[in-house]
A and B are shown apart, each in its own frame.
Chain A
Amino acid sequence: MSNLNNMRNIGISAHIDSGKTTLTERILYYCKKIHAIHEVRGKDGVGATMDSMELEKERGITIASAATNVTWKDHEINIIDTPGHVDFTIEVERSLRVLDGAILVLCSVGGVQSQSITVDRQMKRYNVPRIAFINKCDRTGANPYRVKDQLIEKLGLNAVMMQVPIGLEDKLEGVIDLVEMQAIYFDAGEDGLQPRYAEIPAELVDEANEKREELLDAISLVDDDLMEAMLEENVTVDLINSAVRKATIGLKLCPVYLGSAYKNKGIPALMDAVNAFLPDPTEVENKALDLDNDEQEIVLPSDETLKPVVLAFKLEDGQYGQLTYIRVYQGKIRKGDELYNTRSRKKFKIGRLIRMHSNEMEDLQECGCGEIAALFGVDCASGDTFCHPDLNYSMTSMFVPTPVISLSIEPVDKKAADNMAKALNRFTKEDPTFRTYVDPESNQTIIQGMGELHLEVYVERMKREYKAEVVIGKPEVAYREAISQRAEFNYTHKKQTGGSGQYARVAGYIEPIAASAEGEDQKDYEFIDQIKGGAIPTEYIPSCDKGFQLAMKKGTQIGFPVVNISACVNDGAWHPVDSSDMAFQTAALAAFREAYERAKPVILEPIMKVEVTGPTEFQGNIFGSINQRRGMIVSSSEEGVSCIVEAEVPLSEMFGYSTVLRSLTQGKAEFTMEIAKYGRVPQSVATELKEKYAKKRAEENK
């Protein structure tokens, strides 16, 4: 790959069932990567090429993002197909980190749905330029204009229609390109699916002219050159294209395309847009931190002559062994080259270098700037940076959300136990949102993740891929504890049992950390040292800090971590012989516990933002089901026959909701949820939780 200008790294992401995988499948077909189209839920049982995991094919959902690369009109395009379900959000985050641009797929009927909002927020976080594709224009009730308005209203994107549809719903025939001012039908070629360019149908000429005006107005607002050309009345196609490209890459514009992936309409035009308007690797600024120079930010130019910097963004332990997906940001890597892992500080040699196409692969000799490839048998964690041994850079870390739900698992026999350990080891390496630990009190293995489906999928994979049969417990929510007011402490730890004793006194206060401004992450813990005059010697101050942190790992109410606490020591006492690091840690821990009781502790639980979509006739049932779950209805929108109910519901009440909702609405409603915040557990529930915890502890101490 010598010409970087002809390269695109793009992702495709959207709400569940907007047809991402179907779209990817069609792109592969049009780019001649595959020769027959298999449907996601096709009757031929083959399943979509990108959904290579057995489980994915069975459920018709995408779990792991797959990477593939295609060629479209001399442009090499790396595509990452990402899962739509929010439980697998880490997959989306990871792929966004390495992408230069994205296609945001929307359903022409459903419009901007909750997950589209999540995905868009993620794209904004990584400054990913995007074009929108309004899919399913063949569906009854399709209204692309409404979807475009929603893009503007709900996502705040400067969305402009680049096309208008020729017919809608079952009469969808093609689209009109508003830049070239021509109609495109998709019925040419041997397979009858290739684009055919024609005159705009007479009845649509006026509409097309009007929409073109709108398009030009919108672009000219963000591009002065075009504005000038419009005033001088010499607008050319090239000028429009270059203006759109500039504005799209500058995140000032979101061009909107239309079609129906399922009906093979609009894909070639969309691919042209990817080539024309999404950035090539040189147009995106990537930054790394120089670990040798106080983590100073360094811009990585996409230059192949420089020393290589590579990011490992995803691990996969597949049938061929451990596979590490990488993206090269600077320089070029060759088979046999030596690289340095800046996290583990280990050097390694590149063994096999390959390019993955879903689950088939292709060997490579070298891999240049901007390319996405995979390495074999490299021991690393996802998010590691590899660079030339002379450099010591780290790419900024990726945002990893904390798990909200946990589940106890128990292997059925000895063999299953071994296999389970192997499986867990691999899954935790692959997916940082999936965690596991052994509860020291109950001796059970606990797995933690982002949602019921997330854990369910891993349990299922354990069974299928590792033959590890496990019995699962009831899912449990990751509660947290916090305090609601300030409390002082003054604790003396004294022990005299022959030899040197233990002595430490710490005094100070704990108080809740005030909520930070919106959008900022709140700090979980803060240590303030206000010791004056050496009341506690400097060497023991970190011991106090440690003691507090130890105490916060497990609250006294229900045994969950304590958060949002600012702990301050302002006085104390010590003894030249009997004081030690240990003594101060113990004193701080006990002091914390003592003050904690007086600081009016509360229990926090994850509150989910739930969005239920269904026919209005079931609105009552939907309201009722939310109400029964301690839910708070935030809003309800109705349009024609369908309604969208948005609510905030505690996660602990959402277990099994999909089954309940299905039976309440004859299977016609669906819901999505994602974590909104941590909120206080009401008194009655808190009492219940505390009793349960006390009982559990009593049993363990028997």
Chain B
Amino acid sequence: MEIQELTKISPLRVFEESIGGGLGRGNLGVLVSRHGVGKTACLVHLATDKLFRGQHVIHVSFSGNVEHVINWYKDVFQEVSDKRHLDKSENVYDEILSNRVVMNFSQDMVSIDKVLSSLETLINAGSFKADAILFDGYKLTTANIEDVQKIKDFAAKLNVEVWFSVSPVREDVKYDEYGVPETVTPYLKVVDVLVGLKMNKEGDKVRMTLVKEHDKIADKPLEVCLDPKTMLISR
């Protein structure tokens, strides 16, 4: 299968449609759930889809291990290309890799201002024309509202899409029926798209619920969910 066709029939198109045609540049999207539901895979799938469409992506991780992130990309790529029998998959992989940069910070030691300035340095001095930035494992709940506002301003200034994956740090957080923790509420006004992930009762699917979509507060289930085996977005 050719790469154009692959992206056309990707379940990501359904996902985009249901969030009003995509997140859009200058906007902030958030994936939220408990630990271990599959946010990172989901985020990497979002990024891989963008890479397939020739876009440039910066993956910001706070985990301390770049190797892990790179392996995630490798696995997700493998999964997608095997499933669809992608032509010349090795060449495609090499090509898209040059459009991805992983940046790793330790959140405790590096302030958000520094993170953003490093991103800007990469985009300007490194001539890396990023189309989207993904923050994986950012502890939104320990960051304050100003930090998030700064990220949003940054997204607008550089005209990029910004996705987050968020897990609550504290143990005693209450989750609502969509898997959204109450601690996220204060940030709702700066977030453009909020998607909650939750394992269904049978444990065979991770349900995705659109909690907020641009200016609308919605709570409709998405037509896509996460395949619990691969943790990829699927129908």
Contact = CB atoms under 8 A, between A and B. Distances in A.
A236 interface: no
Interface string B76-93: 000000000000001000
Q: What is the size category of the interface that chain B forms with chain A?
A: 20 to 34
Given A616-B114, A619-B121, A632-B98, A637 B126 contact: no
B126 A627 contact: yes
B101 interface: yes
Contacts of B122: 619, 623, 633, 636
B104 A620 contact: no
A375 B125 CA distance: 57
Nearest to A643: B118
Interface in A140-155: 149, 153-154
B117 to A, nearest CB: 9
Interface in B121-143: 121-122, 124-128
A521 B65 CA distance: 27
B125 A623 contact: yes
A636 B118 contact: yes
A515 B90 contact: yes
Given A619-B118, A632-B97, A632-B98, A638 B126 contact: no
A621 interface: yes
Nearest to B69: A635
Nearest to B121: A620
Nearest to A628: B127
A624 B124 CA distance: 9
A639 interface: yes
Contacts of A447: none
B33 to A, nearest CB: 24
B97 A626 contact: no
A620 B124 contact: yes
Nearest to A640: B109
B65 A153 contact: yes
Contacts of A149: 64
Contacts of A515: 90
B66 interface: yes
B1 interface: no
A634 B66 CA distance: 9
Interface string B95-122: 0011001111110011000110010011
A679 interface: yes
Nearest to A626: B126
Contacts of B66: 634-635, 637, 646
A635 B148 CA distance: 24
Given A154-B67, A619-B118, A635 B125 contact: no
Contacts of A640: 106, 109-110
Given A635-B103, A639-B110, A616 B118 contact: yes
Interface string A613-654: 000100111011011000011111111100100100000000
For B65, B69, B110, B125, which residue has the most chain A Cβ atoms within 10 angstroms?
A: B125
Nearest to B103: A636
B125 A620 contact: yes
A636 B64 contact: no
A638 B106 contact: yes
Contacts of A153: 64-65, 67
B3 interface: no
B94 A638 contact: no
B109 A639 contact: yes
B106 A636 contact: no
Nearest to B110: A638
A69 B171 CA distance: 56
Contacts of B145: none
B222 interface: no
A638 B114 contact: yes
Nearest to A514: B90
A619 B121 CA distance: 7
A635 B105 contact: no
A633 B122 CA distance: 9
Contacts of B65: 153-154
B19 interface: no
Contacts of B6: none
Contacts of A620: 121, 124-126
Nearest to B124: A620
Nearest to A621: B125
Contacts of A626: 126
Interface in A150-170: 153-154
B78 to A, nearest CB: 11
Nearest to B66: A635
A634 B90 contact: no
A154 B101 CA distance: 19
A183 B8 CA distance: 66
B70 interface: yes
A328 B130 CA distance: 58
B181 to A, nearest CB: 28
Contact of B101 (A624, A635, A638): A635
A679 B97 CA distance: 13
Interface in A31-80: none
B102 A636 contact: yes
Nearest to B65: A153
A638 B98 CA distance: 21
A627 B123 CA distance: 11
A623 B97 CA distance: 17
A636 B110 contact: no
A616 B67 CA distance: 21
Nearest to B106: A639
A115 to B, nearest CB: 16
Contacts of B98: 632
A447 B114 CA distance: 46
Contacts of B105: 637-639
Nearest to B99: A632
B94 to A, nearest CB: 7
Interface in B59-77: 64-67, 69-70
A640 B90 CA distance: 37
Contacts of A636: 101-104, 118, 122
Contacts of A633: 101, 122, 126, 128
B7 to A, nearest CB: 22
A679 B90 CA distance: 12
A515 to B, nearest CB: 6
A171 to B, nearest CB: 21
A638 B69 CA distance: 15
A608 to B, nearest CB: 15
Contacts of B109: 639-640
A186 B126 CA distance: 48
For A616, A619, A623, which residue has the most chain B Cβ atoms within 10 angstroms?
A: A623
B94 A637 contact: no
A633 B125 CA distance: 12
A484 to B, nearest CB: 9
A621 B101 CA distance: 17
Contacts of B103: 635-638
A444 to B, nearest CB: 35
Contacts of B97: 632, 634
B225 to A, nearest CB: 31
A635 B94 contact: no
Contacts of B101: 633-636
B2 to A, nearest CB: 17
Interface string A675-688: 00001000000000
A634 B115 CA distance: 17
B64 A623 contact: no
List the 6 shortest-distance A-B pairs measured between CB atoms, nearest first.
Answer: A623-B126, A620-B125, A635-B102, A637-B104, A635-B66, A620-B121
13 contacts: A149-B64, A515-B90, A616-B118, A620-B125, A620-B126, A626-B126, A633-B122, A633-B128, A636-B103, A638-B110, A638-B118, A639-B106, A640-B106
Interface of A: 149, 153-154, 515, 616, 619-621, 623-624, 626-627, 632-640, 643, 646, 679
Given A619-B118, A627-B128, 15 more contacts: A149-B64, A154-B65, A154-B67, A620-B124, A621-B125, A623-B128, A624-B126, A627-B127, A632-B97, A633-B128, A634-B102, A636-B101, A636-B122, A637-B104, A638-B114
